[in-house]
Amino acid sequence: MRRIILSTESGADLPGDLAEKYDVQVVPMHIIMEGKDYLDGYLPVQDIYDYYERTKKIPSTTSTNAYEYQEFFATTRENFPDCIIIHIGYTSKASSSFQNAVIAAEEFEDIFLIDALNVTGGLAAIVLYAAELLEKQPGIEPEHLVEKIEAIVPKSRLAFIPGSLEFLKAGGRVSNMASMIGALLKIKPCIELRDGKLMSTKKYRGKMSGATEKLFSDYLNEFNIDREQLYFIYSIGLDERIKRRMDEIAKESGFQNIIWIQAGGMISTHSGAGGFGVAGLEQ
């Protein structure tokens, strides 16, 4: 029986211990800072924020290219001889990474590619669903596993509040006026993944502590999330008191397992310090 190996990008922010537990292979995306190309996952996130504090500039990000994918798939096959690879990729609506994986996969046999149409915790939720299913059913046919993963893709729901409007402004993601008004009124935008695209949907006014609770309440009202598993995403700088409070609320809401995911460099360059998000799978 040939072994199935799962893979994804660093933009999934998959916790290292879980990647190791399930042998999920992770290919790094890129962060460009001060003219240097850093592999996501190898550059401390704090360095990104320190760079911004010094320069008021944020790094840029780039996708994994086709050559890197070829090397990645080849290395995976060397480490797991004769394996079947199922790659669950970062949304194609926000990066060329998935298309580059498609190009690279033409050089190989028995590689299945799935566009997760999601990022960070929303992508991690899909990858871990696949990993747990594979653990429970090690003899599952790869085509059947792919069908199950593809069926869960539209059920993965992600919403988050960026940590800094100023950070978004520096990256050209909101206008100067919108940022100024938002800061004055303490307005925090909610960003959701809709059909694979990042979209601003709601706005919350006030402190981050109140905004996170309101976000979670709206999230649960809109989506019938499976209470077995929930993912909270945070970027460096989120108040520990907020994390403890969100744990309490999630448990009160009936969630059995709660995993906190730290946003890596790829996501942090777009959200700023102190951001918060939630992801889960609809029933």
In the sheet where 276-281 sits, what is the strand order?
197-205, 187-194, 156-161, 276-281, 229-234, 257-262
Q: What is the per-residue pLDDT across 84-97, written as a single tens digit (0 to 9) for each?
A: 999 999 999 989 99
pLDDT digits (tens, 9 = 90+) for 191-210: 898 889 888 888 898 899 99
Helices (H), the chain: 16-22, 45-55, 66-79, 97-105, 120-136, 142-152, 165-170, 176-185, 208-222, 240-252, 265-271
Given a cut of 80, whether residue 183 has pLDDT beyond it is no
Q: Domain locations in the chain?
A: 4-32+61-152, 156-281
pLDDT in tens, 260-278: 999 999 999 888 899 999 9
pLDDT for the residue 235: 96
Question: Considering the entire predicted model, what is its pTM?
Answer: 0.94
How much is the average pLDDT of 145-153? 98
Question: Could you check whether 4-32+61-152 and 156-281 share the same CATH topology?
Answer: no
Average pLDDT over residues 225-237: 97
| pLDDT for the residue numbered 191 | 86
Choose between 122 and 58: higher pLDDT: 122
Options 3.40.50.10440, 3.90.10.10, 3.40.50.410, 1.10.287.130; CATH of 4-32+61-152: 3.40.50.10440
Instruction: State residue 221's pLDDT score.
Output: 97
The pair of structure tokens assigned to 45 is: 């996130």
Report, as an integer, the average pLDDT of 154-176. Answer: 75
User: Per CATH, the architecture of 156-281 is what?
Assistant: 2-Layer Sandwich (3.30)
pLDDT exceeds 80 at position 184: no
User: Is the pLDDT score of 173 beyond 60?
Assistant: no
Lowest mean pLDDT of 117-131, 165-179, 239-253, 265-279, name the range: 165-179
Q: What does the pLDDT average to over 47-54?
A: 92
